[in-house]
Amino acid sequence: MLRDRERRVLVVGGAAAAVLLLLLFVVIPGVSRIKSQARAAAAAETDLAEVRKARPEIERIHSETAAKAGIVRAAVNVKDAPLTRITSALQEAGIPLAALNIKSGGARDGELFREESFDVRIENLTYLEAVNTLQRLSAGSLPVVLRSASLKSRYDDPRYLDVTLRVGFLTPKS
């Protein structure tokens, strides 16, 4: 049998070992998890603040998308081909057919629309004609999106430009 002193030493040693194990496997991992969750909560609050700042921009884009969707839905009833409609819109803008070159760039399906892209090359435009053309295409009644525009001065006369546009003609996704 053990003496009282040995029992006390065993009980105190066992309690100390239990406290060490408790610290090692419960308290320290719990504290580190609390710290990491606090950092994650701070990061989430920062992200939420950024989303709240972006909300007016998101609402503006949503309203523009809704307006463009209305134009696309209204244009469904027109029987002309997209290439014909883009060509006629450019001719109405004052671009002669001889200065115009349009190539199909393929089609792709988006989330809301199907987009048929065209590469439009226009030669010998003045700066004002180029701006008017870009404005007519982007804000007109055609269901188009200007993906890119490249304006280059002509080597023979710097007063004129050669314009290359990537135009996406939108149709409703079926």
Residue 123 belongs to domain with CATH number: 3.30.70.60
Say how far apart CA 30 and CA 84 lie, in whole Å.
68
Same domain as 147, residue 109: yes
The domain boundary residue, chosen from 46, 75, 104: 75
User: Is the same domain home to 48 and 132?
Assistant: no
Res. 56 pLDDT band, cuts 50 70 90: very high
The C-alpha atoms of residue 79 and residue 85 are separated, in whole angstroms, by: 10
What's the rounded Cα separation, in Å, for the pair 11 and 7? 6
Domain boundary among 18, 43, 75: 75
The last residue of one of the domains, among 75, 98, 130, is: 75
Residue 109: partners with Cβ closer than 8 Å, 6 or more residues away: 115, 173
109 in the same domain as 69: no
**Together in a domain, 59 and 40:** yes
Q: What is the mean pLDDT of the chain?
A: 87
Total structural domains within the chain: 2
Instruction: Please indicate, yes or no, whether residues 53 and 86 belong to a single structural domain of this protein.
Output: no
Report the pLDDT value the prediction gives residue 122, as an integer from 0 to 100.
93
147 and 85 share one domain? yes
Contact, 172 vs 72, CB < 8 A?
yes
Domain with 135, as residue range(s), is: 80-172
102 and 41 belong to one structural domain: no
- Asked whether residue 29 falls in the same domain as residue 69, the answer is yes
- 18 and 71 housed in the same domain: yes
Identity of the residue numbered 93: A
Whether the pLDDT of residue 174 is over 80: the answer is no
Same domain for 157 and 103, yes or no, is yes
pLDDT mean over 84-97: 86
Model confidence at 1, in pLDDT bands (50, 70, 90)? low
Residue 116, φ and ψ in degrees, nearest 5 = -100, 120
Assess whether 69 and 87 both reside in one domain.
no
- Number of neighbours of residue 99 by Cβ within 10 angstroms: 15
- Do residues 155 and 86 both lie within one domain? yes
Give residue 119's pLDDT: 94
Q: Tell me how far CA of residue 41 lies from CA of 10, 27, 37, 96, in angstroms.
A: 45, 21, 6, 61
